[in-house]
Structure 1
Amino acid sequence: MRILGISAFYHDSAAALIEDGVILAAAQEERFTRKKHDPGFPSKAIEYCLEEAKINMADVDYVAFYDKPFLKFERLLETYLSFAPRGFRSFKTAIPVWLKEKLFQKDFLRKEFKKYDPDFDWMNKLLFAEHHQSHAASAFYPSPFEEAVVLTMDGVGEWATTSVAIGRSNKMEMVKEIHFPHSLGLLYSAFTYYTGFRVNSGEYKVMGLAPYGEPKYKDLIMDNIIDVKEDGSFRLDMSYFNYCTGLTMTNDKFANLFGKPVRGRDGDDLEQFHMDIAASIQAVTEEVVLRLTRSLAEEYGIKNLCLAGGVALNCVANGKILRDGAFENIWVQPAAGDAGGALGAAATAYYHHLGNNRHIDTTKMDAMSGSYLGPAYEQKDIEVRLAKAGAIFTVLSDDEITNSTADAMASERAIGWMQGRMEFGPRALGGRSIIADPRSPKMQKTLNLKVKYRESFRPFAPSVLAEDVGEWFQHDQESPYMLMVADVAKAKQIAMSEEQKSLFGIEKLNVPRSEIPAVTHVDYSARIQTIHAETNPRFHAVVSAFKQRTGCPVSVNTSFNVRGEPIVNTPEDAFRCFMGTELDNLVIGNCFLKKEDQDEKLKLDYKNAFELD
């Protein structure tokens, strides 16, 4: 039985295909269209899924959509009626779009899918899950747990913003919800907006900025903006926000509380104040999440926790949940945002709606195949594509590719690394990555300013051989999806001098914190990915070869793109990014490229090629 799941029309549209319970393929539409967070109908992602399975749409048994448009429309109307007459401008903007497109999404979807197969019975084969049900299903069904508490936290679905489900075998029951407008995700997004970053993409920046500040405003936030109960349930004081009725996230009352206006987006006026604000909202988020998880562990007595929704991408909070110990085991969906809803919708249809049995393969970490669920390219195809693009490359054997890449890393060269299937979700996990030597004290600044073209404060993640993680980090578990933060091991840290301790904010950036400074944040933390030979043998082999040369089993790993650009998908995408940045090498399949060998005429200016993210 084949189920195609799709998410669309908000942000990060995606498609996923399940066959007899096995996840065959999943990808975001943005990777094909090259439009960051593409919200459109995921036609190219659907085509990829069908192609990967070598089937046509006629071979699909059901199509599942990740939310229920009518319930969203109900929430929109009720919200505007509740706040009327305020918000008429926003209402006037939104309603025509809903009436023209979103309210009739079911008919729109039928028409789109009939383009693939005019004879398919869409009236009976098109299924709809609820938004948080899709998120929860994406976390529980691929997890390695027979039973788990499933916590979903995001901006908003139809009505739910935070929900709890109990998953057992092939069934999942939604048991608790907090409803819009009270939302932890929207609270974090409000502070993203206030600190001058883009909502729905800049939340990572707030999390990365937080360690440069002190949570001076935590009590102010909890005393005025959010009322949090002991069990983690919460309510927001909506008089500080504008997202229900306006075209902005916050209002003047919000700004007056903190004594400064909204920062101009991505301006040059990033101050210690903004770092302290980031630290404060991060601390509030962690407080809420820890109260939730502790109360859920006590109430249900289940040892396993699954997480999904956009807030589950807050890997600092995830690491604190793990170390808190209320749950013995935690599993986070790597595509925790809306893209993962496509997979969750398909899983909901297959297990919950149709009642199919669920089998957990105990020989594997989970059912996600390392999240390598996107397109891959055959060696001959890579060579043809690169030659057509004008690239100069050498074709090497498997051992030669491993050794040449490890040598380049050890020589402090920045490498574009494209191997195997593309990752599903926002993290690059060694399939579409930029890799480099983490021991280099200049590498973080170099990659941020000369390759990624983004803010210098943003940290890079370490990818570490799974067998060595405990020696280098205060973490002794698998973290294959880069969704856990832990400190660098004490033995690897470099103590700060008294003079260094007196530094503030961004001044701390260039102070080496450990033996691997390129991946150590200012608070000695790191966003860890463990590399497993079972799911990514080539990446594991390269980092193993680097370890043989240097004694260090760690690589810098950041996504293969510049800021504002989707992660590369095709060899052509990779070559363009290589030629538009100051990357030194490009390795695709068995093709090895050096920047100095390339035609100068093919160089591009990627610095301003994409909008700020």
Structure 2
Amino acid sequence: MNILGISAFYHDSAACVIVDGQIIAAAQEERFTRKKHDAAFPKNAIEYCLNAAGKNLDQIEYVVFYDKSFLKFERLLETYIAFAPRGFQSFLTAMPIWLKEKLFQKLLLRDELKNLGADSNIESRLLFAEHHQSHAASAFFASPYEEAVVLTMDGVGEWTTTSVAIGCGNRLEAVKEIHFPHSIGLLYSAFTYYLGFKVNSGEYKVMGLAPYGETKYVDVILSKLLDLKADGSFRLDMQYFDYCTGLKMTNKKFDALFGDPPRKPEQPLTQKHMDIAASIQWVTEEIVLRLTRALFNETGRKNLCLAGGVALNCVANGRILRDGKFENIWIQPAAGDAGGAVGAALAAYYTHCDKPRRTNGKDAMSGTYLGPSYNNGEIEQQLSSAGARFERLSDADLITATVDALVAGKAVGWFQGRMEFGPRALGARSILGDPRNPAMQKTLNLKVKYRESFRPFAPAILREDMAEWFELDCDSPYMLFVANVAKDKRTEVTEQESALFGIDKLNIPRSEIPAVTHVDYSARIQSVDRETNPRFHELLSAFKARTGCPVLINTSFNIRGEPIVCSPKDAFRCFMGSEIELLVIENYILYKEKQDNRLKTNYSTTLEPD
């Protein structure tokens, strides 16, 4: 049975094809259009997924959309009525879009699919899952567990913002929900907005900024903004928020509570901003911990699955792991809306079609390497047409040349195999660096990524060496757990250094791998095993053999404001528009000094805030 899953029209549109329950391909539309968080109908992603599966639309039994627009429209209308006359301007802005497009989404999907070659019966094969059903299905049905508690947390779907389901075999039963406007995701996004970052993309900046601050505002948040119960259930005081009726997340009452208007993008960050970030991060972790503890006590289940945008908060995930209530935790790596395409397809296969499910101890995401790959002919054609100068090396020589560059302190663009699905680069479309170099974090942020200097980088480490270097000894292939660097790898901080505040802490080496050690000794860890990504494992092994260190900096192959690269052409453009010094595409190697200088582009003057 062939099923196409689609998420679209809000942010991070994506497509997925499953064949007889196996995820064959999945990709986000942004990777093809080069428009970050592209919300358009995922035409390119669908075409890629169908080609990867060797199918056309007439061979697809069901096309499944990841949410139900009529229920969203109901929520929109009820919210405006409840808050009237506030929000009239927002109502006037939203209604034409809904009446023109979103309310008649079935017809829109039918027409778009017909444009891709679907027959006239495609409408009869369209199914619609609920938003949090898609999230939950993406977490449980893709997990390695036969049974689990499934917790989904995000901004909002149709009405639901937090949901609990019990998964068993091919069944997934929803048992609890928290409804809009009460939302962990929207609470965190409100602070993202207040701190001057983009909602739906800048939340991870708040998480990265938090360790530079102190939790001075926790009491204010808990006493004024949030009524938090012992079991993790909560209600927000909506008099401080504007997202129900306005075009902003917060309002003047919120500003008065914290003493200032929202920070404007690109304005300097102050210690107060860092303290606010630390406070909302602590509160978010507390909510999630109370929820998961209560779920364990209520169900007695040993396995926990997570999805929804809040599940990308890897610091909170690390707290759940260290809390030790659940024996096993699995988090959908494409936990946000893009992953809804996977969940919608899996929900249709198992729930709607009642197909049997068999687990084999491994998850179904194939390391997230579900996107396009390129053969030698395609690589040579794209590079030649772009004017690139390149060499083709043997496997052994390629690894040696890459390690040479890394040890020399160079930034390396690493392009191998199938592109990752989801927000993380995991060794297929990555920028790599030497984590032992204390200047590398600042260099990569300011000269390669063109972004704020405080933002941390993640370590990729050989799975077999992880427990020696970090306080973590479980698989973390998707970079979704934060843990501390092992004590014997840390560098003692002087009294004078420990007295520093905020960004002044940034340049203090804190371990043997300072470029991936955050100011609180933490790191967002990717474990790399030989089976899932053999070439990346080989590179890490060679770097370890040369240096004694089994760790590399791994950050996404893109610069600020653009999606992760997809094709060799994208990679070469990013290479020539940044200060990446070596580009490795499969067995092809490109040295910056050998390129035509006329092909360089100046990204740094044209970038939008991300």
In the alignment, which residue of structure 2 is the partner of 1:148? 148
In the alignment, which residue of structure 2 is the partner of 1:307? 306
Within the alignment, does 1:374 sit opposite 2:371 as a pair? yes
In the alignment, which residue of structure 2 is the partner of 1:422? 419
In the alignment, which residue of structure 1 is the partner of 2:329? 330
Structure 2 matches for 1:383-402, cutoff 5 A? Answer: 383-402=380-399
In the alignment, which residue of structure 2 is the partner of 1:447? 444
In the alignment, which residue of structure 2 is the partner of 1:431? 428
Opposite residue 501 of structure 1, the aligned amino acid is S
Unaligned runs of 5+ in 1: none
In the alignment, which residue of structure 2 is the partner of 1:354? 353
Q: How much does 1:608 deviate?
A: 3.0
Opposite residue 74 of structure 1, the aligned amino acid is E
Give the Cα separation in 1 of the matches to 2:184 and 2:461: 32
The equivalent position to 2:457 in structure 1, one of 445, 456, 460, is: 460
Tell me, what secondary structure is at the counterpart of 1:336?
coil
Give the Cα separation in 2 of the matches to 1:137 and 1:265: 36
Opposite residue 3 of structure 1, the aligned amino acid is I
Give the Cα separation in 2 of the matches to 1:378 and 1:606: 28
In the alignment, which residue of structure 2 is the partner of 1:270? 269
Give the Cα separation in 1 of the matches to 2:192 and 2:432: 28
Structure 2 matches for 1:450-599, cutoff 5 A? Answer: 450-599=447-596
Q: How much does 1:124 deviate?
A: 2.4
Give the Cα separation in 2 of the matches to 1:347 and 1:609: 40
In the alignment, which residue of structure 2 is the partner of 1:317? 316
In the alignment, which residue of structure 2 is the partner of 1:97? 97
In the alignment, which residue of structure 2 is the partner of 1:174? 174
In the alignment, which residue of structure 1 is the partner of 2:26? 26
Contact 2:106/2:123 (<8 A) preserved = no
Q: How much does 1:266 deviate?
A: 2.3
Q: How much does 1:609 deviate?
A: 3.2
Q: How much does 1:606 deviate?
A: 1.2
Tell me, what secondary structure is at the counterpart of 2:566?
coil
Tell me, what secondary structure is at the counterpart of 2:603?
coil
Per-residue CA distance 1:162-205 (angstroms, 9 max, x = gap): 00010000010011000000000000000000011110111010
Contact 2:154/2:186 (<8 A) preserved = yes
Contact 2:150/2:166 (<8 A) preserved = yes
Contact 1:579/1:604 (<8 A) preserved = yes
Indicate the RMSD between aligned Cα atoms, in angstroms: 0.7
Within the alignment, does 1:192 sit opposite 2:192 as a pair? yes
Q: How much does 1:587 deviate?
A: 0.1
Opposite residue 350 of structure 2, the aligned amino acid is Y
Within the alignment, does 1:124 sit opposite 2:112 as a pair? no
In the alignment, which residue of structure 1 is the partner of 2:254? 254
Amino-acid identity (%): 69
Give the Cα separation in 2 of the matches to 1:532 and 1:454: 30
Q: How much does 1:380 deviate?
A: 2.3
Give the Cα separation in 2 of the matches to 1:130 and 1:440: 47
Structure 2 matches for 1:211-226, cutoff 5 A? Answer: 211-226=211-226
In the alignment, which residue of structure 2 is the partner of 1:205? 205
Q: How much does 1:217 deviate?
A: 0.3
Task: Name the CA shift for 1:242/1:473 in 2 (closer, same or farther; >3 Å).
Answer: same
Give the Cα separation in 2 of the matches to 1:533 and 1:385: 30
Per-residue CA distance 1:248-272 (angstroms, 9 max, x = gap): 00001101111111111222x2100
Unaligned runs of 5+ in 2: none
Contact 1:409/1:436 (<8 A) preserved = yes
Q: How much does 1:120 deviate?
A: 4.7
Q: How much does 1:584 deviate?
A: 0.7
Tell me, what secondary structure is at the counterpart of 2:602?
coil
Give the Cα separation in 2 of the matches to 1:608 and 1:429: 28
Contact 2:446/2:453 (<8 A) preserved = yes
Give the Cα separation in 2 of the matches to 1:414 and 1:473: 24
Per-residue CA distance 1:223-267 (angstroms, 9 max, x = gap): 110000000000000000000001100001101111111111222
Q: How much does 1:121 deviate?
A: 2.1
Tell me, what secondary structure is at the counterpart of 1:607?
helix
Give the Cα separation in 2 of the matches to 1:223 and 1:361: 47
Structure 2 matches for 1:34-53, cutoff 5 A? Answer: 34-53=34-53
Per-residue CA distance 1:436-468 (angstroms, 9 max, x = gap): 100001000000000000000000000000000
Task: Name the CA shift for 1:122/1:262 in 2 (closer, same or farther; >3 Å).
Answer: same
Give the Cα separation in 2 of the matches to 1:396 and 1:348: 44
Contact 1:58/1:120 (<8 A) preserved = no
Contact 1:32/1:45 (<8 A) preserved = yes
Contact 2:6/2:65 (<8 A) preserved = yes
Q: How much does 1:532 deviate?
A: 1.3
Within the alignment, does 1:407 sit opposite 2:410 as a pair? no
Quick check: 246-255 or 353-362, which moved more?
Answer: 353-362
TM-score (norm 2): 0.99
Q: How much does 1:572 deviate?
A: 0.4
TM-score (norm 1): 0.99
Contact 2:389/2:594 (<8 A) preserved = yes
Give the Cα separation in 2 of the matches to 1:498 and 1:437: 28
Per-residue CA distance 1:71-99 (angstroms, 9 max, x = gap): 00000000000000111000010011100
Contact 1:418/1:589 (<8 A) preserved = yes
In the alignment, which residue of structure 2 is the partner of 1:283? 282
Task: Name the CA shift for 1:468/1:247 in 2 (closer, same or farther; >3 Å).
Answer: same
**How many residues are aligned here?**
610
Opposite residue 300 of structure 1, the aligned amino acid is T
Per-residue CA distance 1:507-550 (angstroms, 9 max, x = gap): 00000010000000000000000011111111110010000000
Q: How much does 1:119 deviate?
A: 2.4
Give the Cα separation in 2 of the matches to 1:609 and 1:532: 38
Give the Cα separation in 2 of the matches to 1:265 and 1:63: 40
Q: How much does 1:118 deviate?
A: 4.4
Contact 2:58/2:118 (<8 A) preserved = no
Give the Cα separation in 2 of the matches to 1:89 and 1:462: 46
